[in-house]
């Protein structure tokens, strides 16, 4: 099994944490992983993108050029993801912010209102976690059963109180698929 995912959203939507947590959990589940964030000169704003691969075998190129799955967190990311998505690939769209459909007809599209679900749980900032739950359910590549332990090392101690909310977001994301 190899799942190559391309993730995109605007800076601040948590694309980097989403990718990092995805591969962190995958690693804890015994998979090989790479996470390559596109780095630029600007430190805020812009489209944040990451190449993320989890696999049962050694990973060749860390650069995802033909993703099995792509994550579209905002409008600006849609054309970028549509351009690279593998034929017949999976596309998870944050339908709270993306109100149009992809132009390509070959993609398996799943719409998740990540922002609305996150706000319902208590904070729009965890929209990325809703998306990660959806990605897990839709691909089956990473089960996320080690997430709670991972979050304990990922977050500093004073942020541990937010872990239940993050776990709830994952759960809701899984259910939304």
92 neighbors 131 (Cβ within 8 angstroms): yes
Taking the least distance from each CB to other proteins, the nearer of 34 and 139 is 34
Does position 155 interact with other proteins (CB under 8 A)? The reply is no
Distance of CA 132 to the CA centre of its chain: 5
Does position 27 interact with other proteins (CB under 8 A)? The reply is yes
Dist CA 152 CA 97 (whole Å): 30
Taking the least distance from each CB to other proteins, the nearer of 55 and 139 is 55
Size of the site for other proteins (CB under 8 A): 21
Q: Which of 19, 11, 130 is nearest to 76 (CA)?
A: 11
Taking the complex as a whole, the smallest distance from the CB of residue 177 to other proteins amounts, in Å, to 26
Residue from 35, 115, 166, 170 in contact with other proteins (CB under 8 A): 35
Does position 60 interact with other proteins (CB under 8 A)? The reply is yes
Dist CA 33 CA 23 (whole Å): 6
Taking the least distance from each CB to other proteins, the nearer of 56 and 61 is 61
Who contacts 65 (Cβ-Cβ below 8 Å, separation ≥6)? 84
Q: Which of 113, 64, 112 is nearest to 92 (CA)?
A: 112
Does position 156 interact with other proteins (CB under 8 A)? The reply is no
Taking the least distance from each CB to other proteins, the nearer of 36 and 162 is 36
Q: Which of 120, 111, 122, 126 is nearest to 17 (CA)?
A: 126
Taking the complex as a whole, the smallest distance from the CB of residue 140 to other proteins amounts, in Å, to 21
Residues that bind other proteins (CB under 8 A): 20, 23-24, 27, 32-37, 39-41, 58-63, 65-66
């Amino acid at each position: 099994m190899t799942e190559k995912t391309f993730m995109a959203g605007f800076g601040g939507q948590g694309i980097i944490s989403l990718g990092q947590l995805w591969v962190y959990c995958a690693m804890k589940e015994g998979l090989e992983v790479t996470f390559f964030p596109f780095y630029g000169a600007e430190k805020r704003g812009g489209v944040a993108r990451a190449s993320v691969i989890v696999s049962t075998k050694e990973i060749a190129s860390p650069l995802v050029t033909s993703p099995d799955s792509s994550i579209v967190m905002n409008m600006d990311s849609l054309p970028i993801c549509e351009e690279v998505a593998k034929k017949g690939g999976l596309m998870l769209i944050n339908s709270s912010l993306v109100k149009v459909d992809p132009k390509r007809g070959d993609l398996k599209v799943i719409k998740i209102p990540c922002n609305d679900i996150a706000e319902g749980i208590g904070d729009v900032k965890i929209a990325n976690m809703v998306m990660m739950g959806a990605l897990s359910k839709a691909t089956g590549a990473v089960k996320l059963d080690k997430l709670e332990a991972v979050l304990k090392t990922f977050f500093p101690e004073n942020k541990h109180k937010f872990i239940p909310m993050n776990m709830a977001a994952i759960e809701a994301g899984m259910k939304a698929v």
